[in-house]
Structure 1
Amino acid sequence: MSNDRYKETPPGGDIDEAAIDRKVWWRIIPFVVILLVIAILDRVNIGYAALTMNADLGIDPAFFGFLSGIFFISYVIFEVPSNQFLVRTGARIWLTRIMVSWGIITILIAFVQTPVQLAILRFLLGAAEAGFTPGIMLYLTFWFRKNRISQALSVFFIAIPLAMVIASPVSTFILSHAAWSGLASWRWLFVLEGIPAVIFGGAILVYLQDSPKDAAWLGGRERSWLVSRLDETRVQAETPLAIPFRQLVTTPGILLLCLCGFLVGLFLTSLLFWIPQIVNTSGLSRSITDTGLLVMIPYALSAGVMYAWSRHSDRLGERRWHVAAPLAVAAIFLILLSVAHSPLVGFILLSGAIASSYAAYAPFFVLTLETFSPGLRASGVALVNAIASVGSFAGPILLGLAGGNIGSPGMTVLFLLLGIAIIICAALLVRNDSGARMSGE
């Protein structure tokens, strides 16, 4: 089939591109941001629950790291198959299945009696949620053109730090005030934060459409024009039924993307679970409420930096340097953090490292999307995200073994090594970009 079909302009006069972009933006982006906020809340609320739950269930730091990370074992196993199913079944049905199932499991966590029961449900939670984030990323490429996708992804990914901004006061408020019907407050935390996933999962079927050609809120000519400029039809037609592992692993640049994803996942995701405890034991916080307010700071900063940097990447149409530069800055903060002696200085450096890493987030995943052909995009994005999830599994465990406190010898070594590894990764990204320019690619 010729690609010319996807470049034709529908007859009937000019199309108001800006008006179409606005319609798509306000229809899709706010809703998927809410979905990701709910996903992150249900993924990391164990970090806030741990402030009182660990004592109730007899969980030590090392086992808590395992509980946090076990989510990602099943997540990695089912990530790529989940994205394959999304292409075959349609986004609405599959995303609904994902959200409703993880919401039910989150609620069930409230009733665990032993650490083993908690570990089993955390494993099932990862299996239920597998494919959600890369699935939404793929879904957005069905609606946004190349010059808009980075900005769309940046706002979507802002939901991650935004979720932490919301989770901090909400979760600490529940922990401080909810103790009804004989249930401990940490149990109510899982119930109250699991219900929205079930509700919004059902709303997906009503509110979202699988692709622009199904969107009744666009005019006929608008639908035709938008479909002609997107890869959605090619993704649907060219995605193989079996997972194309050989094609994926031989894609140029895939190993470097996986390495970067692994390192960022190891750092950022582990902190989503551990930062409430890190702040609570730093000496900067005098209460659970103080902890919630302090945790908000690096993530509120991350949201602003993330959006501004991603817009800059879109304006220039450049990805590699927009990934490498903030990663290098984050690495410098981590290396300095390894020698920081003051809790306040340590918190400032940690906040800078978090914000810099999030700045690279959207350009990194746009670079990932652009690396794969339409037929490999579903599997490729899921594969890179799965490797990032391996880092997300290892990170919480390493932080737990390191003691979970800034300034401890284990954390000092961990942050130093991580900073060095991230700098090397950033340098390789720049080197690959320079090599591609010299070869004329």
Structure 2
Amino acid sequence: MQAITSHPPGTYSDAAGEVAARAKAEKQVVAKVSRRLLWFIFLLFVFSFLDRINIGFAGLTMMQDLGLTSTQFGLATTMFYIAYICFGIPSNVVLARVGARRWIGTIMIAWGLASTATMFATSPKTLYLLRVLVGITEAGFLPGMLLYLTFWFPPIYRARANALFMIAMPVTAALGSAVSGYILGLDGAMGLKGWQWLFMLEGMPSAVLGLVVFYYLDDKPQDAKWLSSSDKEVLARSLQAAHMPKPAIGAGSSLWAELSSPTVIKFGMAYFCLVNTLAMVAVWTPLIVKSFSADASNRMIGLLSAIPPVVTVVAMIWWGRRSDRKQERRWHLMLPMLLSAAGWLCTATSNQPVLQMLGVCMASAGATTAMSIFWTTPDQALSLKAQAIGIALINATGNLSSALNPVIVGWLKDTTHSFTAGLLYATVLLLIGVVIVMRLPINGGKRVQ
């Protein structure tokens, strides 16, 4: 007869109490990190994204002043993204070596000055050159910040952190839409065109914030004087648990084998399909809105263009919290992509301005929300040694779509004299992306084994 093992009274309750205490301590430390970092990196992303999309608003008057066709205007953005893609990986490698504080501060000063200099464009060629400079200098910011968040937030908190960071995109689009319309109204002041005022007033703040970065950011939790020793210990334990064990994916254990694995390729392809819509929203929204509001003034177009981003902010916060609460990622990524595809289809097939605007809102909310969920997943399928390059590689692959979208959509617009073909192109890519996501190794907020 086998003896029944007894346990001292209170063993299970003590263990449960210890787990609960650790979880509470972890939540408190993450909350402290959130209060310190998220508002600031949100602000940095606001001006990063503003310097990326303000050419869309400048195009309302700049195209005529510089004699640009839609194809040439789109090519300027394509040149930006070609430079952005080429320098994204090297920039992340440098960040991993010298730290976020020094590198992010340096590139912010550089791209702020380069973006401001776009006011001196006098022809298509000079515009291309200046946008290339902005692309080179801004290339490392988003992948660098995504890597930076993995240093501070355990995976189970990442969707909310990503959402609160990435709402900078729709917030910037909303505020930028409204403010840019008014800035364009400065046309003629002090001998400058409205679009020149736009690049100057929206570019210089990035350079100023770059100086602030040197004094405010810490590279890693162990460098933070605002965290106590116990806070650092709790956070280190949580991050270490998230990173161990973490087998390399791919055929072998080498860095190249991991980065060239089918899993990383699928992540890049899925992001490529998603980013096309993000580029559509960022670059073409003012002109799409103008296409079904032909009699609206630039100020009115700016205000109308602010509606989709407002809807997007609400969707991102709610959906990100829901994804963390459910600890589910795959459907929380696929459903917003499907919503976005339905939105573009609605805008493309309807001739009612209200339905067309509803479609743009659906497309913007769906794609940007999907982006915040997407970036909770790749680092869970990458070893520590591959994270910096892997995240930058996936980001670069996706941004090939940002490079192609302005030229393809611009060419389709010039050829068909309508945005319908471009919207259908975005719809098809989103549906392909959903199919790819179905095959990604995604496992909630937990580790991919």
Q: For 1:86-125, what aligned pairs fall within 5 Å after superposition?
A: 86-125=95-134
Alpha-carbon offset, residue 284 of structure 1 = 6.0
Q: For 1:30-429, what aligned pairs fall within 5 Å after superposition?
A: 30-177=39-186, 179-230=188-239, 244-250=255-261, 252-283=262-293, 286-403=296-413, 411-429=419-437
Alpha-carbon offset, residue 186 of structure 1 = 1.2
Alpha-carbon offset, residue 410 of structure 1 = 5.8
SS of equivalent to 1:300: helix
My pick for the range that moved more, 257-266 or 381-390, is 257-266
Alpha-carbon offset, residue 366 of structure 1 = 0.7
Q: Distance in 1 between matches of 2:48 and 2:443?
A: 39
The one-letter code sitting in structure 2 at the alignment partner of 1:183 is L
TM-superposition CA deviations, 1:18-53 (whole Å, max 9, x none): 332221111000000000000011111111111111
Alpha-carbon offset, residue 232 of structure 1 = 12
Q: Distance in 1 between matches of 2:117 and 2:417?
A: 37
Alpha-carbon offset, residue 245 of structure 1 = 3.9
Q: Distance in 1 between matches of 2:355 and 2:242?
A: 51
The one-letter code sitting in structure 1 at the alignment partner of 2:321 is R
Of structures 1 and 2, the larger Rg is shown by: 2
Q: Distance in 1 between matches of 2:51 and 2:255?
A: 31
SS of equivalent to 1:403: helix
2:441 pairs with 1:430: no
Change (3 A) 1:417 1:119: closer
Q: Over aligned residues, Cα RMSD in angstroms?
A: 2.6
Change (3 A) 1:68 1:404: farther
Q: Distance in 1 between matches of 2:180 and 2:418?
A: 29
Alpha-carbon offset, residue 280 of structure 1 = 2.1
Q: Distance in 2 between matches of 1:107 and 1:357?
A: 29
Q: Distance in 1 between matches of 2:229 and 2:441?
A: 41
Alpha-carbon offset, residue 134 of structure 1 = 0.9
The one-letter code sitting in structure 2 at the alignment partner of 1:165 is A
SS of equivalent to 1:34: helix
The one-letter code sitting in structure 2 at the alignment partner of 1:423 is L
TM-score, with structure 1 as normaliser: 0.89
> Given that residues 320 and 367 in structure 1 are in contact (C-alpha distance below 8 angstroms), is that contact kept between their aligned partners in structure 2?
no
My pick for the range that moved more, 81-90 or 341-350, is 341-350
Gaps of 5+ in 2: 1-20, 249-253
Q: Distance in 1 between matches of 2:160 and 2:86?
A: 30
My pick for the range that moved more, 410-419 or 220-229, is 410-419
2:32 pairs with 1:26: no
Q: Distance in 2 between matches of 1:92 and 1:233?
A: 24
TM-superposition CA deviations, 1:314-362 (whole Å, max 9, x none): 1111111111111122223333433222233222212212211122111
The one-letter code sitting in structure 2 at the alignment partner of 1:150 is A
Alpha-carbon offset, residue 145 of structure 1 = 1.2
Q: Distance in 2 between matches of 1:199 and 1:112?
A: 23
Q: Distance in 2 between matches of 1:373 and 1:299?
A: 35
Q: Distance in 2 between matches of 1:216 and 1:178?
A: 48
Q: Distance in 2 between matches of 1:432 and 1:124?
A: 35
> Given that residues 142 and 232 in structure 1 are in contact (C-alpha distance below 8 angstroms), is that contact kept between their aligned partners in structure 2?
no
Q: Distance in 1 between matches of 2:221 and 2:414?
A: 47
TM-superposition CA deviations, 1:262-281 (whole Å, max 9, x none): 11211211331111122123
Alpha-carbon offset, residue 233 of structure 1 = 12
> Given that residues 141 and 231 in structure 1 are in contact (C-alpha distance below 8 angstroms), is that contact kept between their aligned partners in structure 2?
no
- Among the aligned pairs, what percent are the same residue? 33
Count residues in correspondence. Answer: 418
